[in-house]
Amino acid sequence: MMGGMNSSRPCAVPVAAVLFLLASPAFALEGDWRIALSRAAPWATDAGAAQAMVGARFALREGRASGPGPLSCGQARVQAIVSPPEGLFQGGLPVPARDAAALGLAAVEVPGFRLECDSGSFDFHQADADTVLLALDNRILSFSRAPGALAPQDAPEARVQALLEQHFAGDMGFLADGAAAKAAWLTSELQARIDAYFARGWPDDEVPPINGDPFTDSQEYPTRFAVQAARIEGDVAEVPVRFADAYAGRELLYRLRREAGGWRIDDIDYGRGEHFSGLLAVSVD
């Protein structure tokens, strides 16, 4: 394993913390959301297009909901709910505890909301303060209200959001094709470092120097992310991103520079005195 990439370890989730989320004024479905992730539901045999709804907006206010498909509806009524694993997604999980954890939900009682409106009934389950999950058309959709999800398209946090949406939709292993697909979000300098890393090559029977996902600093990939507000100084920006799964969370710092008329990712700070650029440099020495 190169660079000390993290692997998640289980930890207990206090029920008191869940009850605090439910009672918090910030825990509300009303407002604006963006669909950041889409994955096949655990029960699905035909899950449809993976990215069809990613990037779509959902809003709920004054008794009306607006969003893709049946999520646009009138006469909207919301009630708070708490669901054990067996009750999540209206009881649809084949192996409740295991499947809930795989979706990033590990609490014994998961808070959420039931939206009743003229197009149907929809259960939203809260994964964290910025994320709720909904089952729709045999897919599990992750809705985010983190700053990056709602930022203007040309903002630095929106650029990180777009890269991570694309990243989570594909193979998150560090492979040449996947890295090349991210070129539009990276500075020319970072892309050159990545190109040099893959140009080195290594035997098929050897573990590559970077063994894991440097974009999330993990080997066991997180199930969600929340892009926070950017700190901007001139042509440089820093964007904190929180990654989490059912058991643990961590925060990375994405560093961006203005290049070619827009914000591009120039490095990732892992918070241990290690950086993405440093891993790449060591790997090609």
In this prediction, residue 206 carries a pLDDT of: 82
Angle between helices 276-284 and 188-200 (to 10 degrees): 40
For 164-185, what is each residue's pLDDT tens digit?
A: 999 999 889 999 999 999 999 9
User: How much of the chain, in percent, has pLDDT values that exceed 90?
Assistant: 74
Thinking of the domain 148-284, which architecture would CATH place it in?
Roll (3.10)
Residue 10 exposed, middle or buried by CB count within 10 Å (0-12, 13-18, 19+): exposed
Q: Determine the residue type at 184.
A: A
For 10-63, what is each residue's pLDDT tens digit?
A: 333 333 344 334 434 456 999 999 999 999 999 988 766 656 799 999 999 999
Asked if the model's pLDDT at residue 158 lies above 80, the reply is yes
Residue 192, token pair as written in the block: 């050159």
Length of the chain: 285
Task: For the full predicted model, state whether its pTM sits above 0.85.
Answer: yes
Between CA 141 and CA 124 the distance in angstroms is 10
In this prediction, residue 174 carries a pLDDT of: 93
Q: Determine the residue type at 161.
A: Q
pLDDT band at residue 196 using 50, 70 and 90 as cut-offs: very high
What does each C-alpha distance from 118 to 59, 121, 185 come to in angstroms? 16, 8, 41
Asked if the model's pLDDT at residue 262 lies above 90, the reply is yes
Residue 281's SS3 state is helix
**Is there a contact between 219 and 226 (Cβ–Cβ < 8 Å)?**
no
Asked if the model's pLDDT at residue 119 lies above 50, the reply is yes
Residue written as tokens 């070619």? Answer: 260
pLDDT band at residue 283 using 50, 70 and 90 as cut-offs: low
For 213-227, what is each residue's pLDDT tens digit?
A: 999 999 889 999 999
CA 243, 82, 12 angle in degrees (round to 5)? 50
**Is there a contact between 231 and 138 (Cβ–Cβ < 8 Å)?**
no
Residue 108's SS3 state is coil
Dihedral of CA atoms 125, 126, 132, 137 in degrees, nearest 10, equals: -20
In this prediction, residue 205 carries a pLDDT of: 78
In this prediction, residue 256 carries a pLDDT of: 98
Q: What are the φ/ψ torsions at residue 284 (nearest 5 degrees)?
A: -105, 0
The domain segmentation of the chain, as residue ranges, is 15-145, 148-284
CA 8, 11, 17 angle in degrees (round to 5)? 120
